[in-house]
Chain A
Amino acid sequence: MAAPETKIILKHADNEGYDNSIDCYMKHGGYEVLKKALKSKPEDLVQEVIDSQVRGRGGAGFPAGTKWKFIDYKSGKPVYLICNADESEPGTFKDRQIMYKDPHQLIEGMMITAFATKCKLAFIYIRGEMFNGARILERAIAEAREKGFVGDNIGGSGYSCDIIVHRGAGAYICGEETGLIASLEGRRAYPKIKPPYFPAVMGLYDCPTIVNNVETLCHVKHIVDIGGKEFAKIGTPNNTGTRIWCVSGDVQKPGYFEYPCGAITLGELIYDVCGGLYPGRALKAVIPGGSSAKVLRADERYQGKLRDGTEFDWSINDVPLDFDSIAACGSMSGSGAIMIMDDTRDMVEALANINSFYAHESCGQCTPCREGSLWMKKITNRMIHGKARKEDADLLYEISKQIEGRTICAFGEACAWPTMSFVSKFKEEFEAKAEGDDAPKGEASQSKKDSDYSLI
């Protein structure tokens, strides 16, 4: 049986009678950690976060403390904090729970982070579609400002920092940190080349900027509360703290669940927590980290060595849910969005759906992603409409290899990895598309294997 949830961030959010007002928050001990942090030295707070080994919850999993250490204080330019509330990764819906139900936790986390990193101004970049969320956040910030937790002279400490809520306008690429910064500045959301535009050195308005995910900033509050080393005891080494996993797809009880890293396996999550698959169905594939992550095939055996040298030999149900284990299986835990597919799902159609998303969301700045994503979409669309060719599977794979690693931002990997993994793990389905009943039926003399399309 699976362990029960360890709700740290979502401790109060779904409880009966809890609302998103500041009074309710403060009744449950809210803003006490901020008061404690304001009495500490900023460098000590940064050290706590480093000791906690907390990794970013936005998708990349980069250690937050290390990111804070990169801030360029020598230039004398003001430092900015941006909370990345763009949550657009397909399958992810954890940040909105925090923002809609417990926004003050985010605000407290942001104020502690701003104080620790000596920020001048903080922003929350929230995706345009969450207009209610933006309203809730603005109301919460106004409440907090009234009580002196945001704005001038926070808590009487002499430190001032305000929070501005900025709404996006419907672009996945605004979740990329440099794309977000460009959008915040009012320009087209074109990610910037790194080097030289690392946000910690040259970010918003070319000033040092910290961009962190909503969940990460909430963790900062809890790290300062219990101390970095205590926090590091939750979870496993290098995978510390709790994570909110969003489960969607072919399970009976989809939803979001908070567990310490490594405390639960995939099988336990699917079968014990989420009520298992629908009767009569078998598990076929799992995408463990938002659609950008590589797919895991259900009947495959996962073997190899972990970072600390221990060998593992897992079925898909044995994979522990944290950063490193899923990475060791050849995928990534990304934003924590687990998408379950059972055997009624056609992999080619699933990939066509995913490719359509990436082709639509590509910003168009660099050649491989712009042209490649649309090309892959056109191929998979053609395949699901009955005009697949035998060579399409290899072609898709080669196109995705041509995109990966050659682009300005990680969107190249994001649009290439689904195709790469689907085609390599489920190759038989892609090749079968060219031969099955879906294949074009030409003249009687034309062999079933020939398609109407030929190379130019």
Chain B
Amino acid sequence: MVTVNIDGKDIQVPKGMNIIEAAKLAGKEIPHYCYHEKLSIAGNCRMCLIEMGMVQKDRETGKVITDDEGKPQVRWMPKPAIGCGTNASDGMHIKTNSETAKNCQNGVMEFLLINHPLDCPICDQAGECRLQEFATDYGRGYSRFVEKKVVKPKRTVLGPRVTLDDERCILCSRCIRFCKEIVDDDVLGFVDRGSYSTLTCYPGKKLENNYSLNTVDICPVGALTSTDFRFKMRVWFLKRTKSICTESSVGVNTTVFSREGQIYRITPRQNDEVNDTWMSDSGRALYKEVEAENRLRRFQCKGSSISSSEALIRFKEIVATGETAYVGSSHMSVEEQYLLKKLTELHKGPVYWLQHIEEGDGLLISSDRTPNMRGALLTGLIDNLPGDDLKALGQKIDAGDIKNLVVYHEDVLKAGLTEEQIKKVNVLYLGTHVNETSKRALIEIPTLTAFEKSGSFINQQFRLQKFSQAIPGPAGILPDINVLTRIITLLMGSDDTVTSLDLIWQRMKEEIKEFSEVSFRGMPETGVLLDKSRFEHIKFPEGKTLHYEPKNR
């Protein structure tokens, strides 16, 4: 740790930390465009110019020279220095809001705006645009430019999901550095020279890697835009909800933007332990499943709609008639898995589980394509890795041991059961979308997607992470925890229908030892690392991703 003096106040910062971060620690903002925490230093926007000086030390003794009042004498650099490129060292003095620094900020702001098109009314970035924000906070406030602005291509399609507006580009090179350093897909670059510099894709190539929309997130202006979100909604109307991506067991932290019950886009949320500030494109597209064609919207019995209370009563009656097998899902939240476990204890039956393994991409999509397989391990539903198919269940059905089959969110026909086997049992399906299993189900109970409920998942690091409800589910659909609790209370013969996440957690903390120290409400933003010692013997399938091993265990 070294002592740096920022605007007259001494603070302790780690040695070598750059000045923008050091100023953040001191509570000051140094405006910047091209600097990004997770990318290399470019130093080309010149917005973070600050005055820098070093204390003068006596050459021989090494002691700091002080003036009459005892304050150390500072030798200020003749030219302003960039904050992102300057590393903190002992005795450094920084001025972020002196006359010179303010002059620099005014100047650079003016330069950025002279060729910038007057697109605010039609630009997607309005409301979250760093040019707008810094122009109000650090700009001169009026323009002196009366010439003609530089004209560049306006609607270049860089790839299937990204559209580029070259005139708005401030040539910060964040997108180029991201594609080169994080994704290792070096397709973006500048062509032409000077003020006519233009961002393009390498000739013949497209920006089509599965992380292309991150460039839209990091672009400080509205140059790179998401083709999916373009012109759809103004960002200040959107409500932000913290959520977790369900694409894989990485558990990428996301923010869901919605308005009046409709989701407009998903962006990554910063979590340095899990996903830094990135997210995959395929994960962002998951919000489309909410309004998909094959969404299960009604409680049905033998194909005809019934009310929710009736459906649950019939569910209980059928389950109570005989041996019931359960097929659970790793898409369920921890709380739902706990309730399913209670159900299997109350009405005993074999529990089967499926794994969904595909090749991981080494970055933010792990090979386990479900968000919460470890939740099933912790709640005791399974005690080892799930299998690939349900052949064992099929044998039991053929042997006549199973009368009812509760299927949660899976398609058992794809997992090895045959049509004949299905016909032999009463299928009770709970899920969000229609599939081949649900079509053959006796009772179909619609459930909510991860956007429409709250809960938690446990990711590949055994990190417990919370997600919140962003939009209400389709009319009439009950949250999963209510459905499962109701089935349980019906089986117990009570009329109690009350449940909540807090109540469930109260009980989970008592029964599951890894949760005993966890506070659901008070969980930190970055999640809670759980004790995985009970499962050390299991060879988990995930390989390396961005942060497979957590930084601090």
Contact A366 B46 (CB under 8 A): yes
Asked, given contacts A362-B195, A364-B193, A405-B79, whether A372 binds B111 with beta carbons under 8 Å apart, the answer is yes
Q: Are B43 and A193 in contact (CB under 8 A)?
A: yes
Task: Please give 6 more A-B residue pairs, beta carbons under 8 A apart, in addition to A374-B150, A407-B46.
Answer: A193-B41, A359-B195, A367-B170, A402-B103, A402-B111, A453-B146
A320 interface hit (Cβ, 8 Å): no
CB distance from B82 to the nearest CB of A (A): 7
Given contacts A193-B85, A378-B148, contact A406 B195 (CB under 8 A): no
B110-143 to A contact mask, C-beta < 8 Å, 1/0? 1110110000000000000000000000000011
A368-B107, A402-B110 are contacts. A363–B41 as well, Cβ < 8 Å? no
Residues in chain A near residue B85, CB distance under 8 A:
193, 195
Contact present for B196 and A364 (CB under 8 Å): yes
Chain A residues in the interface with B (C-beta under 8 A): 171, 188, 190, 193, 195, 359-368, 370-375, 378-379, 382, 395, 402-403, 405-408, 453-456
- What are the nearest 10 A-B pairs in CB distance? A402-B107, A364-B197, A371-B111, A378-B147, A362-B194, A193-B43, A374-B195, A405-B79, A453-B146, A364-B194
Query: B192-205: contact bitstring with A at CB < 8 Å (1 yes, 0 no)?
Result: 11111100000000
Interface residue ranges, B against A (CB under 8 Å): 41, 43-47, 49, 78-80, 82, 85, 103-104, 107-108, 110-112, 114-115, 142-148, 150, 170-171, 189-190, 192-197
In Å, the complex CA distance between A261 and B551 comes to: 62
Which residue on chain B has the smallest CB distance to residue A192? B43
How far apart are the CA atoms of A365 and B189 in the complex, in Å? 12
> Are A406 and B146 interface neighbours, CB within 8 A?
no
Which applies to chain B's interface (DSSP): helix, strand, loop or mixed? loop
List B contacts of A379 (CB < 8 A): 147
Residues of chain A contacted by B195 (CB below 8 angstroms): 359, 362, 364, 370-371, 373-374
Can you report 18 A-B residue pairs in the complex whose CB atoms are below 8 A from each other?
A193-B43, A195-B85, A360-B193, A364-B171, A366-B45, A366-B46, A368-B46, A371-B111, A371-B114, A378-B148, A402-B108, A402-B111, A403-B107, A405-B80, A406-B49, A408-B46, A454-B146, A456-B143
> Given A188-B190, A364-B194, A368-B111, do A193 and B147 touch, yes or no (CB 8 Å)?
no
Is the Cβ of B44 less than 8 Å from the Cβ of A365? yes
**B150 to chain A: which residues have CB within 8 Å?**
374
CB proximity of A374 to chain B, nearest CB, Å: 4
Contact in complex: A363, B148 (CB < 8 Å): no
A370 and B80 contacting across the interface, CB-CB below 8 Å: no
Contact residues in B for A373 (Cβ distance below 8 Å)? 194-195
Q: Given A368, A370, A405, which contacts B194 in the complex, CB threshold below 8 Å?
A: A370
Chain B residues near A368 (CB-CB < 8 A): 46, 107-108, 111
- Which chain B residues border A407 with CB–CB below 8 Å? 46
Beta-carbon nearest neighbor of A373 in chain B: B194
Q: Known contacts A372-B111, A402-B111, A405-B79: does B190 contact A367 (CB below 8 Å)? A: no
Contacts of A370 in B (CB 8 A): 111, 171, 194-195, 197
Q: How close is A240's CB to chain B, nearest CB, in angstroms?
A: 26
Q: Which residues of A contact B170 (CB under 8 A)?
A: 367
Residue of B146, B147, B189 contacting most chain A CB atoms (<10 Å): B146
Query: How far is it, in angstroms, between the C-alpha of A366 and the C-alpha of B172 when the chains are bound?
Result: 8
Contact partner of A364 among B43, B107, B146, B190, CB < 8 A? Answer: B190
A116 to B128, CA, bound (A): 57
A332–chain B nearest beta-carbon distance, Å: 16
Instruction: Report the bound CA distance from A405 to B77 in whole Å.
Output: 11
Taking CB atoms, residues of chain B closer than 8 Å to A193 are: 41, 43, 82, 85
